[in-house]
Amino acid sequence: MTSNTQTWFITGSSRGFGRALAEAALEAGDRVVATARRPEQLAELATEYGERVLPLALDVTDAAAARAAIEQAVARFGRIDVLVNNAGYANVAPIETGEEADFRTQFETNFWGVYNVTRAAIPQLRTQGGGLVVQFSSVGGRVGGSPGIASYQAAKFAVDGFTRVLAAETAPFGIRTLVIEPSGFATDWAGASMTVHDAPAEYEQTVGAMNTRMRQTGSRPAGDPKRAAEIIVQTAKRADIPSHLPLGVNAVDMSIAYSEAQLAEARRWQAVSRSADFAEEYPVEFPADAA
């Protein structure tokens, strides 16, 4: 092992981004704690890479199981350099007619799973003098507004807010954070792990359009998970890393357009916004209504 060898702890390692990232880290000479609900799906990794892989069963919604998995990882490899919260999924349904139980269950994995695993790892990262926490969000977790996946995107916004506070609280311990924001990639995100519920006629133009898109199988998403995984592994070995990393052409274009629109709106309304403070001039003229 070289001095730059890292130990990764990756949730949702059986397929998709998690599997690609585990393989990329191992190809880079690193060690990987690969977790999944069904650890038998990780057998090939253990066979190919031997002692550098520790496959573990983990349901991220179980806080006690998350703590136990972190303990097993440290017992095997001595430390955790990169924690990756990748496990997550989305189902498609309108807010109005989707089942509340399904909304909550998605949130349990997509947000509380991140909370459970991150919280379990913090004491180890703090004790060892640092580490990197990588949170998988999506470009939708930055720009939002995708009809039909409210629970998923709400959770991703929550993960972003949670991670910003985490970064502020743990920076003195040498802990760094990185939020990954992919656009469409050739993973199983919209495949077997997604349930697409029929949308009422009233939502045909919004959620219905999303349903049609999710059920199409003829076109392949633009993003290559292998390339993305290699980029993340290379980024994790750098001293200088971004706080957020959009991945994919659409992610970059959407992020820049959204940020520019936000800035333009804040400037257009700044006189009104400032006037709410006691010391500011009030009332002020509102921006003219758009034609």
Active-site positions read: 137, 152, 156
Strand partners, 54: 33
CA atoms within 13 A on the CB side of 20: 17
Phi/psi at 260 (5° precision): -65, -40
The distance of Cα 14 from the centroid of its chain, to the nearest Å, equals 16
Residues 139, 255 contacting (CB under 8 angstroms):
yes
What's the CA angle centered on 182, arms 133 and 74, to 5 degrees? 25
Intra-chain end-to-end CA distance of the chain, in Å:
65
Residue 194 is encoded by which pair of tokens?
């997604």
CA atoms within 13 A on the CB side of 90: 26
Spatial distance between the Cα atoms of 86 and 18, rounded to a whole number of angstroms: 6
Residues 123, 79 contacting (CB under 8 angstroms):
no
